[in-house]
């Protein structure tokens, strides 16, 4: 199941890229993606804990099931205004 991941601010800086494609097994949830990313990229394991995930431009909780082709953005705590 292909996903498009988008990174911003400190997560982007830590990973050194703005986006990537990732394949996850069908039925995967946001928390599965989080676990996989933390394991693969330990430098973001800490920051991941305070990330809110957005799927197709809507914030979701970690139990949400991901769908084929979802665009998943990792939103660190925000500071606009």
Rounded Cα gap, residues 33 and 28, in angstroms: 7
Nearer Cβ to other proteins (13/20): 13
Site residues (CB under 8 A) for other proteins? 6, 8-10, 13, 50, 52, 54, 57, 59-61, 73, 75-81
DSSP string, 37-71: HHHH-GGGHHHHTT-EEEETTEEE-TTPBP-TT-E
Report angle CA 55, 9, 57 to the nearest 5 degrees: 20
Residue closer to other proteins, measured from CB, 26 or 80: 80
Q: Output 18 or 27, the one with its CB closest to other proteins.
A: 18
Smallest gap from residue 22 Cβ to other proteins (A)? 18
């Amino acid at each position: 199941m292909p996903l498009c991941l988008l990174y911003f601010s400190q997560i982007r800086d830590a990973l050194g890229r703005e986006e990537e494609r990732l394949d996850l097994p069908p039925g995967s949830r946001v928390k599965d993606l989080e676990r996989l990313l933390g394991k693969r990229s330990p430098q973001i394991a800490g920051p991941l804990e305070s990330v809110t995930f957005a799927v197709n431009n809507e914030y979701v909780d970690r139990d949400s099931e991901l769908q084929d082709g979802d665009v998943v953005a990792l939103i660190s705590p925000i500071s606009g205004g």
